[in-house]
Structure formats: C-alpha cells, structure tokens
Amino acid sequence: MSVYDKLAGHILGHIHQEYPIWTAQVLESAADLSLPRQRHPVFFGSFDWHSSVHSHWALVATLDKLEDAALAERVRATLDKSFTPELLAAEAKWWANPGPPHYERPYGYAWLFILAAELRAKNYSDWSAALQPLEAAIAKLAADWLHALWLPTRGGMHSQTAWGLWQTIEASGNPELAALAREKTQVCFGADREAPVLYELDQTSFFSASLNEAAAMAAALDGDAYREWLRGFLPGLFDPAAPQLPPVPQPRDASDPMEGHTVGLPLTRALAYRRIASGCPEIATRAMELAEREAADGLSRLHLDDYSTGHWTGSFAIAWLLGA
C-alpha cells in the first residue's frame, strides 16, 4: 500500500463522519438553531467545515495516485456523492449570508480556493462546474475581507492573515482577487523587520507566524524586492549566527484538540520553507534543508487514529508529499 493509499483511505473514513462536530452560530432566536448538516449538506463531516473542505481536496489530489483500484473507486464514488450541483448550490445559498461574519475567515476560504484550483488542474470538469457557485460566494466574502483589511492577525491558528493571503494569491483563480491580496500582503507585512522567531512557539499553534508571512510575501513580491525584504525579516536564513526558529517540542497531550495542533506544525513549517525557497534562490538550498528536516519530523508525528489530530493532519502531509 502506498503512502497515498494509506492517507486517502484514512480520510475516506471520516470525510462524511458527522459527529463529533464543531460549529459556530449567531442566534437571533431559537428558530435560528440548526445542525451543521442542514447548513452544509456537502461539507458537514471531518469535525468542522474547513476540515471537510480540505479532506475533499486531499481525495481529489490523490485520486490519480492511488494504487488500490478498489480504493480509487470508493474515493471517486464519495466525491461524486459530494460534488452534485444540487448540494453545492445549497452550500452556496447558505454562504450568501453567513454568520457570524468571521466564520471560516480566512482559513476556510483559502481551503475552498485550493480545492477549486485542484479540480481545475486535474480537469475534473463536472465537479469543478458544480463547485463554481460556492467558489463565487466565497470569493465575494474574501473580497469583502480584503477590502477592509489593514492590520494582520499574526497568531498561529485559523484566523492567521498570512496563510489566507498566501493561498488567496496562488489558488483563488481570480486575477482581481489575487491582485488585491498581493496589495494587502504588502500593506500588512511590507514594513516588517527582524521577526521575533524566539518568541513564536505557543501551546496551540499549527502555523508559524513568521514563516507563513515570508511565504505570503514570496507570493506577493518578485526577485530582488523579495530577497531584500526577506533578508530584513528573517536574517537567520542568510546568517546562521542570527536567531533561528526554535524546534517544535512534542505535545504533552496530543489528544487535547488545542495542544494537539502542534502535531501539524512541523508540516506547515515545511510547506512555508519550501515556498520561501522558491522565491529566493540565494537561500533556497538552506531553506529546503530546513523544510526537509521539518517534514521528516512532522511525518513521524502523525497519529491518524487519534481523531482530534488525525482528522486534519493527513491533508498537510499530502500537501507536502505532492511537492516533495
């Protein structure tokens, strides 16, 4: 069994698992209360909306790499069940007026763009066409977010601005939205210098604030402009004597949903280092060495049978392996 078969088989097991579930609602009255599946007839499994979206992406991304024919058929049947025009139209209708306003912003938006881009890249035209109304609804919400954006959220969880900007630039498929995201990336981060890398770790982060910022700027700037910005922001990539990102410690309780976030942190660091390397040839070798080190650590930490971490870390493992 290939690593893709193993990861896709695991994801297939929870992609339509309805409970346990996390959700957020603003209720004006008791009549507003509803179950996630009623609001999200496609992306209701895998613990929360964004995890369901990226679990679907992971299956789409690995479908043509599966060695087990029976597994591939099950994956295709599952995606056919999800990507129907009727169900995705119902998803899009809800997203035309979501609440609360910050729900899934920007993390869920970004994963929806990544899913849509993967469907286009793999030429799954029927599935892609069915997703378009939802993609358009999310693009409108993302544009509203970007027009109002003037200060970043720098934490290491779902609300992080840098990762949302990075993925919007590279995956949205909307030139106007991507241009706006490039502009806002420079507004938010263009003046940043000497990232406080020694203070970055905390007990709940699954993203690096500094590395994702540098990856977003790699998507927003080209050539010399990016190299000069990066030299000022992460001098440790150019000078080993400068402060370096500390290693990610093992969580004391990986089954805790918040502390368990750190299980995935090495993998997301690896993805960011790889994007930084592609934007700055001068430090590409060093950045890729760091990426490989983080990825090896992250892959060794995967505990897919623990639902608190296993429902989401497999997607980031696939994201790394597809580009490795």
Q: Look at residue 232 in the predicted model and tell me its pLDDT.
A: 98
Per-residue pLDDT tens for 151-175?
A: 999 999 999 999 999 999 999 999 9
Q: In the chain, where does DSSP find H-type helix?
A: 3-14, 36-39, 49-62, 69-82, 85-95, 107-121, 125-148, 161-171, 175-189, 209-220, 223-233, 265-279, 284-301, 307-323
Please state the domain count of the chain: 1
Considering the domain boundaries, does residue 307 fall inside one? yes
Compute the distance between CA of residue 125 and CA of residue 138 in angstroms, rounded to an integer.
Answer: 19
Structure tokens at 272: 């960011």
pLDDT tens for residues 20-63? 999 988 899 999 999 999 999 999 999 999 999 999 999 999 99
Give the pTM. 0.97
d(CA 267, CA 79): 26
Cα–Cα distance between 161 and 110 in angstroms, integer? 11
**8 located within any domain:** no
Asked if residue 93 is part of any domain, the answer here is no
pLDDT of residue 1: 86
pLDDT at 324: 67
Q: How far apart are CA 263 and CA 298, in angstroms?
A: 7
**Predicted confidence (pLDDT) at residue 110 exceeds the cutoff of 70:** yes
Q: What is the mean pLDDT of residues 253-279?
A: 94
- 3-state DSSP call for residue 224? helix
User: How does residue 210 score in pLDDT terms, banded at 50, 70 and 90?
Assistant: very high
Residue 317 domain-assigned (yes or no): yes
**Distance from C-alpha of 12 to C-alpha of 314, rounded to nearest angstrom:** 11
Is 220 domain-assigned? yes
Confidence label for 97 from pLDDT (cuts 50, 70 and 90): confident
For residue 136, the model assigns a pLDDT of 98
Asked whether residue 221 carries a pLDDT value surpassing 70, the answer given is yes
Which two tokens mark 185?
């990336």
Q: How much of the chain, in percent, has pLDDT values that exceed 90?
A: 90
Q: What is the pLDDT of residues 181-206, one digit of tens each?
A: 999 999 999 999 999 999 999 999 99
Q: How much is the pLDDT for 208?
A: 98
> Would you give the DSSP letter of residue 260?
G
Residue 243: both structure tokens together: 């402060």
pLDDT for the residue 149: 98
Percentage of residues of the chain with pLDDT beyond 70 = 100
Check: CB of residue 232 under 8 Å from CB of residue 189.
Answer: no
Averaged pLDDT of the chain: 96
Residue 199 lies in domain: 191-324
Number of H helices, E strands in the chain: 14, 0
Residue 167, domain member (yes or no) = no
* Mean pLDDT of all residues in 70-78: 98
- Contact partners, residue 171, CB within 8 Å, separation at least 6: 110, 113, 114, 116, 117
Residue 260 lies in a domain: yes
Look at residue 74 and tell me if it is in a domain.
no
Residue 98 is predicted with a pLDDT of 85
